[in-house]
Amino acid sequence: MSEPENATICDSIRDALRMIIDPELGRNIVDLGLIYDVSVEDGGVAHVTMTTTTKGCPASEYLKEAVRNCVWYLPGVEYAEVQLTYEPAWTPDMMSGRHGWLR
């Protein structure tokens, strides 16, 4: 897969993940800063590294499964792997201000 194709798929993944809403905060997980990394290997294996607002968040498994399902069905993705991390710990400073509802 070429670098431009890879970048296009990664952008599509991030856009699609905006459909997933954090049930506690009511905002999408991308703008909340919960998605730390998105990458795609040759063969369409997508890797998403994400976090939750707190360690032990009751929605952790729900969010991981939602991300996996969302990514898996995108064109160019053959498999989706989601890793949950708490390093670095999430803070409200990680939220995007692009919609004017922050800060």
The model's pTM is 0.89
Determine the 3-state secondary structure of 44 from DSSP: coil
- What is the number of domains present in the chain? 1
Q: Which domain holds residue 20?
A: 3-93
Q: Band the pLDDT of 97: cuts 50, 70, 90.
A: low
Q: How far apart are CA 35 and CA 48, in angstroms?
A: 7
Mind listing the pLDDT tens digit for each residue in 40-73? 999 999 999 999 999 999 999 999 999 999 999 9
Q: Is residue 99 part of a domain?
A: no
CA torsion through residues 4, 41, 36, 27, sign:
positive
Q: Is residue 102 part of a domain?
A: no
Q: What is the CATH number of the domain that holds 65?
A: 3.30.300.130
Q: Is residue 62 part of a domain?
A: yes
Q: Is residue 103 part of a domain?
A: no
